[in-house]
Amino acid sequence: MNKVLPMTKTENPQLMNITKSQIQAFEGDEFHKRSLELLSEKLVKSGLNVSNLIAKIAAFQIAVPSWALGAGGTRFGRFSIGGEPRNLEEKLEDIGLLAQLTKKTEAVSLHIPWDIPEDYMQIKAKAESLGLKFDAMNSNTFQDYGQKESYKMGSLGNASKSIRDQAIAHNVEVIRIGEKIGSKALTVWLADGSNFPGQAHFRNSLQWTIDSLKKIYREMPSDWKLLLEYKPYEPNFYHTIIPDWGTSSLICRQLGDRAKVLVDLGHHLPNTNIEQIVATLMHQNQLAGFHFNDSKYGDDDLTTGSIKPYQLFLIFCELISGDTDGAQARDSISWMIDASHNVKDPLEDLIQALEAIAIAYAKALLVDRSKLEEAQNSGDVAGAQEILQAAFQTDVRSLVAEARMQSGGAADPLEVYRSLKVRENLIKERGTGSKATGM
Ligand SMILES: [Mn+2]
């Protein structure tokens, strides 16, 4: 699609003024229509209802974190992207734009203390005006930001009671802030652990962590849930108090029904079977949510779907299967992107990630589950693989684009974003040196 954008003088190309007509100027062309027709024909033959599929794809929404809108850094440095949001309002504006173009996100996940609102009513109103809600709140006890005592040796699992108390109080404060803006969940990720053998007492630090989390859990309103994230290593390299889904799950069981495990795709040792973890957690009604990203080696926080699209598809297969079989309802699971952008324009990266997630989901919807079960039960190994591959190899891009267009989004969000020169305009508005709060 190479259409010339109809830009009039009255249509300001600035971020907040992308009009419907600008989005529709890129409406699907003849190629899209023919691709969709051809695909629909094939899907109908397989017994699928195309409008149902489109409705499901359109309904699937993923939250965007407030810290993904600026350039991410590594421990070696950080390169500014230009035009980064300078405050929470501007972060919301960026996500509002993403929502407008992609129709795949309608919620933002805030991080405290990076995003403490100055005026809660104003922030709430701003989000509402952009059609955004507040997803899970994220606490931060993995770095020092001027609080009384240091988290250098840990937070909720620190040997010092006063440091543990400070970390508990911070999480309670995050809950209180979340209540004011309509969030319904707290995400806890701990960097707690140790770098060297002998540095920490495994059982004591685990017990302190459980006790601290119990206190935080008790402070949550009754309609809130707690998402407990795990990670095998980094920033600590010898031991992490909550290294895996099993440890997270056993802690959650001690907290209560509203505490569940958060799976971050990058928080596993290489080659871990994440789809099996998803299936097991759903079987136990213990899956709280997802942090989408992709990785080659560790917690690389690369664009979702850029490295292992097949894994992403297999994960969605388990999610759909678990939902269909009634193991755990899909709407009880929170969806969020958690990525970092070191070399890409963050908004372009997020557009690509949202697209990759939608594609994986759409492909998983095509899997003939009853045939797959038949193949599984009769030991038809090759047949089972064929069924998955048939869905995975189907080009569903026209289906995903159609779902987006029917919702009022762009046929090709990235193309619209580039044609409207959004980043250039953001740089004009915010400058080259602006830096979003975050990592
Ligand atoms: Mn995460």
DSSP string, 322-369: HHHTTSS-GGGSEEEE----SSS-HHHHHHHHHHHHHHHHHHHHTS-H
**Ligand 1 centroid to residue 94 C-alpha, Å:** 20
The answer to whether residue 192 scores a pLDDT higher than 50 is: yes
Q: For residues 344-382, b (16+ Cβ closer than 10 Å) or e, as one string? A: bbbbbbbbbbbbbbbbbbbbbbbbbeebbeebeeeeeee
Give yes or no for residue 164 having a pLDDT over 60: yes
Percentage of the chain beyond pLDDT 70 is 95
- CA 229 to ligand 1 center in whole angstroms: 7
Q: For residue 31, how far is its CA from the centre of ligand 1 (angstroms)?
A: 38
The C-alpha R_g of the chain, in whole angstroms, comes to 22
pLDDT reported for residue 28: 64
Question: How far is Cα 407 from Cα 398, in angstroms, rounded to an integer?
Answer: 14
- Residue 16 reports pLDDT greater than 80: no
Asked if pLDDT for residue 1 goes beyond 70, the answer is no
Rounded to whole angstroms, the Cα distance separating 224 from 210 reads 19
Q: How far apart are CA 295 and CA 300, in angstroms?
A: 5
> How much distance in Å is there from the Cα of 189 to the middle of ligand 1?
7
Spacing, Cα 202 to ligand 1 middle (Å): 23
Ligand 1 centre from 49 Cα, in Å? 35
Residue-wise pLDDT for 304-353, tens only, equals 999 999 999 999 999 999 999 999 998 899 999 999 988 999 999 999 99
- Residue 28 Cα to ligand 1 midpoint, Å, equals 35
The answer to whether 202 touches 169, Cβ cutoff 8 Å, is no
Q: Which of 85, 125, 135 is nearest to 105 (CA)?
A: 135
| CA 338–ligand 1 middle distance (angstroms) | 5
154 C-alpha to center of ligand 1: Å?
18
The Cα 306–Cα 138 span in angstroms is: 25
Mean pLDDT of 189-194: 98
Tell me, in angstroms, the distance from the centre of ligand 1 to residue 228's CA. Answer: 10
Q: For residue 264, report the distance from its CA to the centre of ligand 1, in Å.
A: 5
pLDDT digits (tens, 9 = 90+) for 54-102: 999 999 999 999 999 998 888 888 898 999 999 999 999 999 999 999 9
C-alpha closest to that of 181 among 228, 224, 229, 234: 224
User: Percent helix, strand, coil in the chain (nearest 5)?
Assistant: 45, 10, 45
- Residue 291 CA to ligand 1 centre (angstroms): 5
Q: How far is CA 42 from CA 37, 390, 438, in A?
A: 9, 12, 46
Q: How far is the CA of 379 from the centre of ligand 1 (A)?
A: 37
**pLDDT at position 5:** 42
The pLDDT score that the predictor gives to residue 250 is 98
Task: Give CA–CA dist 399/37, Å, rounded.
Answer: 10
- The Cα-based distances of 68 to 97, 98, 116, 197 in angstroms read 14, 12, 16, 34
Angle formed by the axes of helices 309-324 and 381-392, nearest 10°: 110
Tens digits of residue pLDDT in 46-55: 999 999 999 9
Residue the block writes with tokens 């409406």: 27
CA of 254 to the centre of ligand 1 (A): 22
**Ligand 1 centre distance from Cα of residue 269 (Å):** 15
Neighbours of ion ligand 1 (CB under 5 A): 264, 291, 338
Mean pLDDT value across residues 240-263: 98
CA of 204 to the centre of ligand 1 (A): 25
Distance 18 CA to ligand 1 centre (A): 31
Determine the straight-line distance between the first and last CA of the chain, rounded to whole angstroms. 36
Mean pLDDT over each residue of the chain, to the nearest integer: 93
Per-residue pLDDT at 27: 66
- pLDDT tens digits, 96-105: 999 999 999 9
**371: CA distance to ligand 1 center in Å?**
35
Ligand 1: distance of its center to the CA of 265 in Å? 8
Domains of the chain: 61-367 (3.20.20.150)
For residue 303, report the distance from its CA to the centre of ligand 1, in Å. 13
Report whether 90 contacts 354 (CB < 8 A): no
Q: What is the pLDDT of residues 110-127, one digit of tens each?
A: 999 999 999 999 999 999
